[in-house]
Amino acid sequence: MKKKSIILLISVLIIILVTISILLLNKKKNIYHMETIIDNKQTYVESITTLVTKDKKLNKLLNKYITNQKSHFSTKIKNLNNNYLIGRDELNIDCKLNVLNKTTWNIVVIVAMTGPSFTEAYHEITCITWDTKRQKELNIKNVLPDKSNFKDIKNEVFEKLRKECQTCLSKETFNKIFTEDFKTFEIEKNMMTIYFNPNILENKQIDIIKVTLEVSNKAYYKDAKTKEIKKKKSTPVRIIDSKKPVVALTFDDGPSKYTEEIINILKSYNVKATFFILGNKVDAYQDILRKSIENQNELGNHSYNHKWLSKLSVGDLTYQIDKTQEIIKEKLNYTPKYLRPTYGSVTNRIRKNTNLEIVLWTVDTKDWKYHDANKIIEQATTNIKDEDIILMHDIFDRTKDSLKTIIPKLLDQGFQFVTISELEEVKKIRSITK
Ligand code: ZN
């Protein structure tokens, strides 16, 4: 009898332990970050933002799609050897995550191919709605709150599609494509957007066709709360001596999984820097960005998803800048004052269409090119002059490592680290006192 109850107790304990570890594992799978990789090649540029999660199955699915798009792009481009920046082709892939509830993610991957090899820009969208618990992809039928209304939705979609484009899809083809297994849809709050890519359309329509539906999907959507930035009891006053040399560290293309550590390194030396961030990563990294602001670093605008600003139309250009300003204001209650155009490429069109001040750099550490932290250190510490702006990227491990040497070295050389706003202040004071 006693033996039996001990066995029973042990089994119960084992069950509890297994449940806890399964729960923890599932929780872990929900951890994600957004990664941006910019590859600046001789004949083309690639800017790819993707979601990286603890869920290997999901990563594999995303990677497979991106790899396919990359090879699709490389077969389309003519590898024109245009040294001139504007003349290069561009592959831009952006990724957006809509967290619908604890176990459902709706991921939208947007592909854009532009440049001299493309007579018209090529766009494509794919969506993955992922059950994080069961680790499987969901279709439209799975996410509709009332499963019986698929037929009604189907009719509505077809009618709206017809309104958008009369000849894009015949009823017959539409019926074949838009089944219960359809997956190219996005869910935001109580709105569902259905995407039809150019490759499935029957006429020569070259852009994606969107159809939006109102769905009572409130149960599906978890509203992200905007957290308040903690007001520090007393913000220490920064004293910058305008008579002594200043230098500004700037970081582009972040935030990333390395940003928090970079912020910590800066703080450990009581050093401030400026981060030119991408709008598409603000949501995923809002806690880290908040911490960055609390530490008195400055945030600047580096476009929404690293599109090549100098090549865009006025509409697309202002969208890239304004959407980034908006999301930073909304999530962080912060308004950037400076814009750093992507690829450091500035045109009069950009100048004319933004109120933000444009900031480039005077020293390129080439951390995107050098994989060795020592090389980056050399670039960032040799021949640095007063008022220099140093370009780095907070998306590399090596950049993070190099800072531990760069900062003390420059401090030893007598430099004060300033943000771009502080640099402007110092310049102003100097011009008055001259
Ligand atoms: Zn950049």
Highest-confidence segment of 16-20, 41-45, 348-352? 348-352
- As a whole number of angstroms, the distance between CA 123 and CA 36 comes to 19
Alpha carbons within 13 A on the beta-carbon side of 104: 18
Q: Report the range of poorest mean pLDDT among 48-57, 67-76, 230-239, 300-309.
A: 230-239
Higher per-residue confidence, 87 vs 274: 274
Spacing of C-alpha 39 from chain mean position: 15
pLDDT for 393: 98
> Please, which residues have CB less than 5 A from ligand 1, an ion?
252-253, 342
pLDDT for 25: 58
pLDDT (tens digit per residue) in 62-94 = 999 999 999 999 999 987 766 666 678 999 999
pLDDT (tens digit per residue) in 324-338 = 999 999 999 999 999
pLDDT for 12: 86
pLDDT for 229: 53
DSSP 72: H
pLDDT for 147: 62
Question: Cα(304) to centroid of ligand 1, in Å?
Answer: 11
pLDDT band at 216 (very low <50, low <70, confident <90, very high): low
- Output the CA–CA distances (angstroms, integers) from residue 392 to 120, 253, 368, in the order listed: 33, 9, 8
Task: Kindly state the average pLDDT of the residues 264-275.
Answer: 97
Q: At what angle do helices 314-332 and 286-294 cross, to 10 degrees?
A: 70
| pLDDT mean across residues, the chain | 90
Q: Report the range of poorest mean pLDDT among 110-114, 167-171, 183-187.
A: 167-171
Out of 302, 393, 394, 401, the active site residue is 393
Residue 130 amino acid letter = W
pLDDT for 273: 98
- The structure tokens listed for 169 are 């899809």
Question: Cα(148) to centroid of ligand 1, in Å?
Answer: 47
pLDDT (tens digit per residue) in 109-162 = 999 999 989 888 999 999 999 999 999 999 998 887 666 678 888 999 999 999
Residue 19 pLDDT exceeds 90: no
Q: 323 phi and psi, to 5 degrees?
A: -65, -35
- As a whole number of angstroms, the distance between CA 331 and CA 325 comes to 10
pLDDT for 361: 98
In the numeric block, the tokens 């493309």 are attached to 118
pLDDT band at 394 (very low <50, low <70, confident <90, very high): very high
Strand positions, DSSP E, 199-271: 209-214, 246-252
Other Cβ atoms less than 10 A from the Cβ of 419: the count is: 23
215 three-class SS = coil
Question: Cα(90) to centroid of ligand 1, in Å?
Answer: 13
Please report which helix (H) or strand (E) contains residue 176, including its range.
helix 171-177
Residue 253 pLDDT exceeds 90: yes
- The structure tokens listed for 417 are 């680290």
Residue 231 pLDDT exceeds 80: no
User: Across-strand partners of 195?
Assistant: 210
Out of 252, 367, 388, 394, the active site residue is 252
Spacing of C-alpha 363 from chain mean position: 25
Residue 393 annotated in active site: yes
Residue 46 pLDDT exceeds 80: yes
- As a whole number of angstroms, the distance between CA 304 and CA 289 comes to 16
Question: Cα(393) to centroid of ligand 1, in Å?
Answer: 8
Q: Report the range of poorest mean pLDDT among 12-21, 53-62, 199-208, 225-234.
A: 225-234
Residue 181 annotated in active site: no
Task: Kindly state the average pLDDT of the residues 164-181.
Answer: 93
- As a whole number of angstroms, the distance between CA 72 and CA 118 comes to 13
pLDDT for 252: 98
Higher per-residue confidence, 249 vs 153: 249
pLDDT for 233: 54
Residue 28 pLDDT exceeds 60: no
Residue 236 pLDDT exceeds 90: no
Going across the sheet that includes 32-40, the strands are: 32-40, 44-53, 89-101, 104-114, 122-131, 136-138
Please report which helix (H) or strand (E) contains residue 96, including its range.
strand 89-101
- As a whole number of angstroms, the distance between CA 374 and CA 380 comes to 10
Question: Cα(157) to centroid of ligand 1, in Å?
Answer: 38
Question: Cα(307) to centroid of ligand 1, in Å?
Answer: 9
30 three-class SS = coil
pLDDT for 42: 83
Task: Kindly state the average pLDDT of the residues 304-311.
Answer: 95
Residue 335 amino acid letter = T
Task: Kindly state the average pLDDT of the residues 220-228.
Answer: 47
pLDDT band at 41 (very low <50, low <70, confident <90, very high): confident
Question: Cα(306) to centroid of ligand 1, in Å?
Answer: 6
Q: 85 phi and psi, to 5 degrees?
A: -55, -45
pLDDT band at 195 (very low <50, low <70, confident <90, very high): very high
pLDDT (tens digit per residue) in 335-378 = 999 999 999 999 999 999 999 999 999 999 999 999 999 999 99
pLDDT band at 22 (very low <50, low <70, confident <90, very high): low
pLDDT for 114: 93
